Amino acid sequence: MASYAWVLGIRPGYEEEYKKRHDEIWPEMTEALQQSGIRNYHIFKHGLTLFGYFETDDFDATAAFLADNPVNARWAEYMAPIMQVDIDPATSFPYLLPKQFSHD
């Protein structure tokens, strides 16, 4: 199982709204994440910067599933007004961060 990470931003003034929306995440969105193969998914916040970490056995399959998933599309549309997003056009997913170090 491989691990992946991304960085995105919250638009200034929307920090509480971002937290609220994730506290109330739609059950169908968490189901879509699970169906995509994502496991051990965490999002951390520092100021307006979000750092996401997740694991999946097949990133390409995960990205393709989410790119074609209508629930994920609705979630992205719902979140768009409060987010600063930089999407990789090759994957339709936030740009992934290259791993620099690991310690188990």
Which residues belong to the active site? 22
What average pLDDT does the segment 84-88 reach?
Answer: 90
Q: What is the CATH number of the domain that holds 83?
A: 3.30.70.100
pLDDT in tens, 25-74: 999 999 999 999 999 999 999 999 999 999 999 999 999 999 999 999 99
Residue 103, domain member (yes or no): no
In a domain, 101, yes or no: no
Query: Residue 1: which residues within 8 A CB-CB, separation 6 or more?
Result: 39, 55, 56, 57
CA–CA gap between residue 20 and residue 35 (Å, rounded): 24
Q: What is the DSSP string of 7-64?
A: EEEEPTT-HHHHHHHHHT--HHHHHHHHHHT-EEEEEEEETTEEEEEEEES-HHHHHH
Which pLDDT score, from 0 to 100, does residue 79 have? 97
Residue 104 forms part of a structural domain: no
**Angle CA(89)–CA(62)–CA(12) in degrees, nearest 5?**
55
Domains of the chain: total: 1
Enclosing domain of residue 86: 2-94
